[in-house]
Amino acid sequence: MIVKAYIDDFNEITVVLAQMVHSIKREDFKVFLDDQEIEIEKVEKLIPHSENPFEAETRGYEICEQKGKIRFILKEGHFDFHRKPMVRPVFVIGDMNNWTISPEWELSYSKLRGRYELIRDLKDVQIGQKFKFAEGASRKLWYPPGYGNDIVIEDYFDREAAFTNIVKITTSKRLLANLKYKVVYKNEHIYARPREILTRSEYFYPGELGFKYEPYGTYFRLWAPTAYKVKIQIFDEYENFKFEKEMSRAENGTWNVYLAGDLKNHFYLYEVWHHNYDQDEGYVVYYVPDPYSKASSSNSGKSYIFDPADGLIDGWQADSFVDNIEKQNDAIIYEMHVRDFTIDQSSGIDENLRGKFLGFCQEGYYKGKITTGLMHLKELGVTHVHLLPISDFGSVDDKNPDKRYNWGYDPVLYQCPEYWFSTKSGGIEALKELRTMIKKLHENGIGVVMDVVFNHTYHTKGGKFSIFDKIVPEYFYRVDDYGDYLNATGCGNELATEKPMVRKFILDTIIYWTEGFHIDGFRFDLMGLIDCKTMRQIANEVRKRNPKALIYGEGWVMGDSTCLVEEMATILSSCHQGYSIGLFNDRIRDAIRGDLDGYKTGYVHGNLSDVERLKQGIKAAIDDFAKEPDECVNYVSCHDNLTLFDKLQKTMVGEDIFWIDRASRLANAIVLTSQGVAFLHGGVEFNRSKGGHPNTYNAGDNINKIDWSLKEKFFDTFKFYCDLINLRRKHIAFRMRSSGEIKKYLKFIPAPDGVVAFIITYPYDEWKKIIVAYNPFKEKKILQLPEGSWRIKANDGIVFPDSSEKEAIGSFEIGPVSLFIAYQK
C-alpha cells in the first residue's frame, strides 16, 4: 500500500510505502499525467541514514538519502584532529569545490554533539569524490594530514540487503509542481504532492510580493507555485463584494495581476485553487488574505489596500532608531504586554486609551502622585521596552476587546499590527497609533523591541486563521514523510525556516518592521527552532539598517524536531557566536530562583547547590554557551511561569514580607551587576504578582494587569531598582566590551561561606576597583576588603547616594539578603 508520494525534484518522485520491502522492481511502478504514462528511468531504494553515529564520525560524513542530504563530520580524535574546538574555522575542501576554501563549505561546531558539522544537498557531491578538512583559511592544517591521504565519499549502504519503505522514482520527463501526477504501485495508486521540488532555485522568487498601490492602479503578486489557478476578489470599503479577476501565472511560481483604477480603502482576498490529491478529480478552493498584508479588516479577515503614505504620522520622517547604547550588552530590557501596562484603572490613563498603543505612551498618575505609563519607564531608566507580540494574532476579538485575552503568540498576518491594541478595528489607524507610540518612546530615549513568533502559526491546513497552507499546502511547515506536522513548539506545528521562501518571508517581515516602524530590536520566540543560516541573515540584515539593534531569543525547543537536519539556533549550538545574537540564560535564572513553578529553591533562598552556574552567569556565560558578553541575556523572570514575587511567596511560606522583598531585590541585583545583557520582567520593580498563576497567557486582565497601587506599596523597592539601573548605565565596568576583558578584569575573591564576591579592575571606568558581593542569608556577613580605603555604594537593600556613602578599611559587614558594592576611584 502507498502511504504518500512526493515530487522532490524535476524528475524525482519519492514514494512512501506502508510496509518495509527488501526488493523493488521498476515494472511495479507507473507514473501518469492525466491518461499519459510517463516513462520511468529507474527505481531505487532510499536508505534513511546511518544508525550508528560513531560510524559517521569515523567516515567523516553521513548520507541521509531520505532527506537528500550529506552531513560532513569532524570530531576530535578522528583524522588526527586533536585541537581545541572553535580556535580556527574548519572547512571542507575537495573535488566538489576544486580544493578551495569558501564560506559556504565552512563547518559549524555543535556543542550538542561535540563535533564540527556541515549539511549540504546530496546533489552538491558525487560518489567517488575526495575531500579533506582544512583548519583556518591558509589550508596549512589538513585532516587527515598528508598529500593523497584523502577521504573518499562512498556509497556505503548495502542496498541489496537493506529493507526500506522509501522508494525513489526517476522519470525521463520533467515534472512540474503545479501538475497532478498519479503514481501506481502494483494495483494501487496515489497522487504525488509537490515537496522538495519547491526548494529548487526555479521556484525561488527574490522580488517583492503583496500589493503595490498607485492612484491609477494596483499591482498584486502572490507566490503560489502549486496552485491550479488563482483569482483575486475585490471588496469595497464596507467589505461588500465588488468583482473578481483571474491572475496570470508568472515567473518562479508567482501569480500577478494589475487592476486599473483607484482601489484605495478597498479590501481583497485571493481565491486559490489546488488539485485535490485525495480524489481522482476535483479541486480544493480557499479564500485567503495576502500573507504580505500590511493592514487588514477586523480579525484578520481580508487584506486592505492603502497608500503607504497615509499610514505615516507627523514628524515620522524625523524619527529614527534610539541611540542610547553602543553594544548589545549595554541594554537594560523591560518586558511588557501592551494591554497589561495600562488596562487597570490604577494606571490613571484615559479610559478610552487603556490597553492601547496610545495608552502605553501616555503619562499617567496613580493617586495624582505616583507616575505610571511612559513617565514610569523614564523614571526607571531602562534602555528598551520589549513588547510581547504586537503584530496580528488570532486568539482575540479586536471588535470586542474585552471578550478574550491573550499574550499573542498565535500569529496570523505577520506584517499587520494587532488591532486589539488600536482604538479602531481594521484599516490603517493601528499603523499610525503604533508609530505614535514608537515615536514617543524614542523621544524619551527608550527603544522598542518587538517579540516575533517565527516558530509556528496559529492554524494550519484549512483552519480559519490558516494562511500559508491555503496558498502552498505543507511547504511552510516541517512535515514528516507520512504528512504529519512536526510539533517541537508544543503548538501543533513548526515553521520550516530553512526553506528558501520561508526564509525570504521571515527576512522580508523583519526588514519591513525595521524600516517601516523603526523597531530597535527583535526577540525571537523559541529561537532554537530557527535554523542558523536564517538567524545569521536576520542579524546581518537588521544591523545593516541599525547597527545597534538588539537581536536575542529563546535558545531552546519544546520537543524533537526530526525534520530539521541543519544546526538550529539553540543554546547548545554555536549559531549565535560572533553574530551578537543573545540567548536567554536559563542557567543563571534557575541558579538564582530555583525551578520555574515548583518548590525548588535557589541562591536567594540560601541554596548554594548551583553557585558555579551563578558565577558563570555573572561572567556573561563566556565559559558556558557565549563567546562574547552580548550573547548572554541574564534574567530571573519573564512573562512565562510564576512571577518572581509569586515564586518567592511559594517557596518562603511563613516568612515576613520584608524578607520576600529582600530576596526579590537581591535576585535582580545579581542580574543588574552581572556582565551581559540585563533583562527585567515588567512590574518586578514593585513585586508584581499574578496571584500564583504560572501560565496566564489567556487568563484575562484581572490576573495579568499591572496593579499600580503596588508601586506605592513597594516604592522603596522601586527606588532600589531605579538607583541600581542608573548605576549600571553610568559604569561601563558592569558592561565590559569583550570576553577577553571579562577574563582579565573580573576575578572572584575569598568570601564567607555562601557569599559570592568578585572584584572588577576595569581601567576604562571612573571607578578603578569595584567589589560586588551577594549575601543570601538572613544573618550579616563580614567581608574582608582588599588593601586601601573603600567607599560603600550599596548594602542592606539600598543603593546609597553619593552624600550617604560610608568609608571602610579592612572589612565590612554585609547586610542580610543583600547586595554589597564598594569602590575605589
CA distance linking residue 94 with residue 103, whole number of Å: 14
Helix (H, G, I), strand (E, B) or coil at 32: strand
- Residue 146 buriedness (CB in 10 A; 0-12 / 13-18 / 19+): exposed
| Whether residue 52 has pLDDT greater than 70 | no
The amino acid occupying position 405 is Y
333 closest CA partner among 732, 710, 682: 682
| Catalytic residue chosen out of the listed positions 57, 290, 554, 661 | 554
Backbone angles phi, psi at 339, to 5 degrees: -70, -45
807 is catalytic: no
| Whether residue 608 has pLDDT greater than 70 | yes
Helix 586-593 to helix 657-673 angle (10° resolution) is 150
CA-CA-CA-CA dihedral for 738, 739, 742, 743, to nearest 10:
-140
| Strand pairing report for 12-21 and 164-171 | antiparallel
| pTM reported for the whole predicted model | 0.93
Question: How many helices and strands in the chain, by DSSP H and E?
Answer: 16, 42
Kindly give, in sequence order, each residue whose CB lies less than 8 Å from that of residue 88, ignoring residues fewer than 6 positions away: 135, 136, 141
| Whether residue 561 has pLDDT greater than 60 | no
CA distance linking residue 401 with residue 422, whole number of Å: 10
554 is catalytic: yes
CA-CA-CA-CA dihedral for 58, 59, 62, 63, to nearest 10:
-150
Percent of the chain exceeding pLDDT 70 equals: 98
Cell numbers representing residue 712 in the block:
506605592
pLDDT tens-place string over residues 263-302: 999 999 999 999 999 999 999 999 999 999 999 999 999 9
Confidence band of 139 (pLDDT split at 50, 70, 90): low
The amino acid occupying position 805 is E
Confidence band of 54 (pLDDT split at 50, 70, 90): confident
Question: What is the per-residue DSSP string for 407-454?
Answer: ----BS-TTSBPGGGSSSSSSSHHHHHHHHHHHHHHHTT-EEEEEE--
Cell numbers representing residue 307 in the block:
497608500
629 closest CA partner among 637, 639, 617, 640: 617
Helix-strand-coil percent breakdown of the chain, rounded to 5?
A: 25, 30, 45
Average pLDDT over residues 571-592: 91
pLDDT tens-place string over residues 517-531: 999 999 999 999 999
Q: What is the mean pLDDT of the chain?
A: 94
Confidence band of 89 (pLDDT split at 50, 70, 90): confident
pLDDT at residue number 64: 80
**Bridge partner list, 333:** 384, 679
Contact between residue 198 and residue 225 where contact means Cβ atoms under 8 Å apart: yes
| Catalytic residue chosen out of the listed positions 117, 525, 566, 628 | 525
Contact between residue 637 and residue 335 where contact means Cβ atoms under 8 Å apart: no
CA distance linking residue 825 with residue 723, whole number of Å: 19
pLDDT at residue number 49: 61
DSSP letter assigned to residue 821: E
pLDDT at residue number 591: 98
pLDDT tens-place string over residues 730-771: 999 999 999 999 999 999 999 999 999 999 999 999 999 999
**Bridge partner list, 336:** 387
CA distance linking residue 809 with residue 672, whole number of Å: 26
Average pLDDT over residues 535-542: 96
Instruction: Give all domains of the chain, ordered by start, each with its CATH number.
Output: 2-47+162-199 (2.60.40.1130), 53-152 (2.60.40.10), 201-288 (2.60.40.10), 744-824 (2.60.40.1180)
